[in-house]
Amino acid sequence: MPTEARRAFAAAHALARHALSWCAPRIDPSEWRLSARNPHGRPEVSAPRLDADIRVNLSHTDGMVAVVATLTDACGIDIERRADSAMVSRVAHRVLSATELATMRDLDPAARTDQFCRLWTLKEATTKALGTGLRTPFDTIAFDFDDDRNARRADNDPSWSMRSWPASPEHHVSVAVHAPKVDFVVHSLSEELRARNP
Ligand SMILES: CC(C)(COP(=O)(O)OP(=O)(O)OC[C@H]1O[C@@H](n2cnc3c(N)ncnc32)[C@H](O)[C@@H]1OP(=O)(O)O)[C@@H](O)C(=O)NCCC(=O)NCCS
């Protein structure tokens, strides 16, 4: 594995342990074991055993890692470096639903790219929460937006909660939790570190 990928893997897995301990503060981050994987590669918490069905998911990309943890519900996260407009033109028709494609048609190039990143990361976060990843065809799950951050399934399935926002000027992140009306608590380590070392 290249050095950069190894560092991202280590950072994401360390952050995952801290996120789990934030949900279950009695457990030290070093105690968590994420060695088990579902048949499609999703890491599962294998130890310690708790009464709650604690879940975690992680994502790493060039320059950023992101993690989501919940005490009860399936969750998925995806962080991506912003796509360029040539890539969007190449891929959009293969992964977006007809309605999603239609909403992109009248946007200027920068707004199209933003919209594509929101939709792509939402699709990946949702299929990671399902545990199937890229095995689920992305054009079969579609999204709509209530505002800048809050998304929902286009079929109005109320059993999902979703958030999507720019994690930096170059990165976009989305989170999906298979539960209605989730209260998201977001921590940004880079902002916390910047505040401690101005
Ligand atoms: C999961 C997947 C969407 C990741 O895409 P990506 O954008 O390249 O990578 P991300 O950084 O966002 O996510 C990677 C992390 O997702 C997690 N992950 C892997 N497979 C997963 C799955 N099926 N569901 C949820 N999370 C998964 C892992 O933690 C992985 O990081 P790690 O290997 O360092 O622990 C993609 O790799 C995939 O679909 N894999 C499934 C392929 C499959 O079905 N394989 C079957 C083998 S028989």
Q: In the predicted model, what is the mean pLDDT of residues 27-38?
A: 92
Domains within the chain, CATH numbers bracketed: 1-198 (3.90.470.20)
pLDDT digits (tens, 9 = 90+) for 13-23: 999 999 999 99
End-to-end CA distance of the chain: 34
The dihedral over CA atoms of 152, 153, 156, 157, expressed in degrees to the nearest 10, equals: -110
Ligand 1 pocket check for 55: Cβ under 6 Å: no
- Cβ-based neighbour number of residue 130 at 10 Å: 17
Answer whether 49's CB lies under 8 Å from 99's CB: no
- Cβ-based neighbour number of residue 27 at 10 Å: 17
Q: In the predicted model, what is the mean pLDDT of residues 43-59?
A: 93
Q: What is the pLDDT of residue 198?
A: 63
pLDDT band at 36 (very low <50, low <70, confident <90, very high): confident
Res. 189: pLDDT tops 90: no
Q: What is the pLDDT of residue 194?
A: 66
Overall pTM surpassing 0.75 (yes/no): yes
Question: Is the backbone of residue 162 left (phi > 0), alpha (psi -120 to 50) or beta?
Answer: beta
Q: In the predicted model, what is the mean pLDDT of residues 41-67?
A: 93
Res. 42: pLDDT tops 80: yes
Ligand 1 pocket check for 138: Cβ under 6 Å: no
- Cβ-based neighbour number of residue 21 at 10 Å: 17
Ligand 1 pocket check for 126: Cβ under 6 Å: no
pLDDT digits (tens, 9 = 90+) for 58-116: 999 988 999 999 999 999 999 999 989 999 999 999 999 999 999 999 899 999 999 99
Ligand 1 pocket check for 15: Cβ under 6 Å: no
Indicate the DSSP class of residue 55.
E
Q: What is the pLDDT of residue 94?
A: 95
pLDDT digits (tens, 9 = 90+) for 127-184: 999 999 999 999 999 999 989 899 999 999 999 999 999 999 999 999 999 999 999 9
- Ligand 1 centroid to Cα of residue 171, in Å, is 18
Q: What is the pLDDT of residue 3?
A: 85
What is the number of the ligand 1 atom nearest to the C-alpha of 8? 34
Both tokens assigned to 122:
């939402």
